Structure 1
Amino acid sequence: MEELEKQSYPPEELSSVPVGRHCILELYGCPIDLLNDIGFIREALQAAAKTAKSTLLKEVSYQFEPYGVTALALLAESHISIHTWPENGYIAVDVFTCGQHTKPEKACEYLIEAFQATRHVIMTLPRGRFSPTIQPTIKELEQTLLVNT
């Protein structure tokens, strides 16, 4: 959130203001038993939604055979998804929230601790429009494509 607040958007670029943030989280070195425990994963998903200050509308999960779980929280502000690969100690997580009140990064911090990850990678992307820092590059690419077609 602080990063978004630091960006200034000139009036002519207000259509480029992001409507939300999308955190892509990769968790490594997680205990295998947690990654195949659908009850634990559902609880972690619900707690992550609460930690993100978002509104949980519905949760759905599926246990794969012989192992692995996919769980999704439908939020009023968008969604959180968790996909586990117990055989690799790996989890792929998406936390996408809209609105100034939400804290998707806090949900990620919670999940890192809950799943006892020994390593993690997190990327946060503005959503809704391209941020002003990459918008000129996209416009240049579009012009190049138009010239070459």
Structure 2
Amino acid sequence: MENQSYPVGETCLVPVGSHCILELYNCPTDLLNNLVFIRHSLQEAAKRAKSTLLKEITHQFHPYGVTALALLAESHISIHTWPETGYVAVDIFTCGQHTEPEAACKFLLQVFQAGDHVLLHFPRGRLTPQLQELGNSLLLQPS
């Protein structure tokens, strides 16, 4: 791989973090447009992940929708809402052995009252047997 950013043979074999992508469907519309509720949920999710909240940014879109970002000492949490479809996109990336991003996902699943959800969870910082090289990119293969 000529475009890789690390020398061959020096690939990190230990994960540096954990990445969760949470898709929430069929959530109550009123929750997804409530900036105060989403800000509180973001703060509590950071606590549940056993992470250190450094800063948060929220934005209310008009006529509807909210984006909320938490900068963590351990990385980040983002929440993006689409009230018109009852959908919430959540991204939680944490590093360190003490963090629990899955606990934050479980909390968000409950408070957003999702009728359905998809959770993807994978280690960051190492190549696993599920990754297959495709030219200059990697494709995650189902196990």
Task: Tell me whether the two structures share a fold, i.e. TM-score over 0.5.
Answer: yes
Query: What is the TM-score with the length of structure 2 in the denominator?
Result: 0.84
Aligned to 1:110, the other structure's residue is in SS state helix
Larger Rg: 1
Q: Structure 1 runs of 4+ off > 6 angstroms?
A: none
Normalising by structure 1, we get a TM-score of 0.81
State the superposition RMSD in angstroms.
1.7
Select which of 121, 125, 133 maps to 1:124.
Answer: 121
Aligned residues: 128
Which of 122, 131, 134 is 2:130 aligned to? 134
Structure with the bigger percentage of strand: 2
Note if 1:85 corresponds to 2:82.
yes
The sequence identity of aligned pairs, in percent, is: 66
For residues 109 and 12 of structure 2, the distance between their equivalents in structure 1, rounded to whole angstroms, comes to: 34
Deviation at 1:16, TM superposition (A): 2.1
State whether structure 2 residue 63 is matched by structure 1 residue 66: yes
Gaps in structure 1 of 5+ consecutive residues:
1-11, 144-149
Q: Which residue of the other structure, out of 28, 32, 51, is the alignment partner of 2:29?
A: 32
Q: Is 1:96 aligned to residue 108 of structure 2? A: no
2:10 & 2:122 partners in 1: Cα distance? Answer: 18
Q: Tell me, yes or no, if the aligned pair for 2:12 and 2:125 is still in contact at 8 Å.
A: no
